[in-house]
Amino acid sequence: MVKTILVKTKKHNYPINIGFDLFKTPYLFSNFKHGDQAMIVTNQKIFTLYFKKLSDILQYIGIKLDYIILPDGEKYKTLITMNIIYSSLLKKLHSRDTTLISLGGGVIGDITGFAASSYQRGVKLIQIPTTLLSQVDASIGGKTAVNHDLGKNMIGSFYQPNAVMINLNYLDTLSKREFSSGMAEVIKYSIIFDNIFFSWLEKNIDKLFNLDQKSIKYCIYKCCKFKSKIVCKDENEKNTRVLLNLGHTYGHAIESETNYNGKWLHGEAISVGIIMSCITSEKLNLFSNNDTIRIINLLKRCNLPVQNPKFMNTKKYLKYMFLDKKVHNNKIHLIIPVKIGKVIINNNITENIISDSIRQLNNLI
């Protein structure tokens, strides 16, 4: 059974379809008609695993289908890789009526989305996420981007997809490390929105790692509901959508320092960033240490890091944090929790408190 969430934005509405064996029948592609153009963007691993079944369905409908295989990894989420997509679209004579189909994780989704937003000033886009992180977060809401040497996701656009199709079977081939990385975003949602969901995660974390179908479907549906609700309220991240960045200002600094080489996955960096945000809030007397410990214990159960990487010091964190998109008037705007289930934006945190929070993390565990 397919569960559908409708995302309603100012420009258009689109469905998030969630289910197992999602592509057994072609009805989800009913908006295509015979002779339409499409290009699948993927990487080699996903191409080997899942391309044929998807392409068979699209060709059965009568789609003129092309594909492109991009190099795998966050370090390739660049303007150089973007140009590979543009060149392929132009050489194969794709017009403004074409559809780009992202088949992959967050990196493929981000770069395909950005290409769709800019090729011939905008073409249709379908997101088919294959990792837990992209299924619960990256594929939804229209944030597309590439990285710069000085910061993550610094060049991009807001561009909503025409559909998101979440085939839960794709998680069967996901590595444990990648699954853990995705769980950081799941836990993030519970801290931001729902203490009952946080308690549910504490009780059901083993079922999720064992890919219990009922638990997986509930968890991903819940996260997609959180994301879609806030995107509908604030599509372009002018106010409440910023809350989704809990842990990201600290976490992005780790990713930027590693130059996106894969030694630290996104969720691993966010795990550390969430804890530092909790410590920061404690220092402001806004958050309970008992709740910080609960969060740390849940992250540890997901095999996520809970200490600063050895290559990071306070100076390096601050260097990247002041380049963050959430800096305004030379002030860092941090998302911090006030209780499990509620976070706030604080733009009045001193550099000393941020530095102390960074230094304290390794002494806390």
Q: Catalogue the active-site residues.
A: 121, 143, 185, 227, 237, 241, 245, 248, 252, 266
Residue 165 φ then ψ, to 5°: -120, 110
Contact 16, 36 (CB under 8 A): no
CA gap 249, 246 in Å, rounded:
8
Which tokens is 189 given? 């949602």
CA gap 56, 25 in Å, rounded:
11
How many other CB atoms sit within 10 Å of the CB of residue 180? 23
Ordered DSSP codes for 174-187: S-HHHHHHHHHHHH
The amino acid present at 71, given as its one-letter code, is P
Residue 58 CB burial class (10 angstroms; 0-12, 13-18, ≥19)? buried
Q: What is the DSSP letter of 68?
A: E
Quick one: which H or E segment has residue 206?
helix 195-209
Ordered DSSP codes for 262-330: SSS-HHHHHHHHHHHHHHHHHHTT-S-HHHHHHHHHHHHHTT---S--TT--HHHHHHHHTTSTTEETT
CA gap 302, 181 in Å, rounded:
8
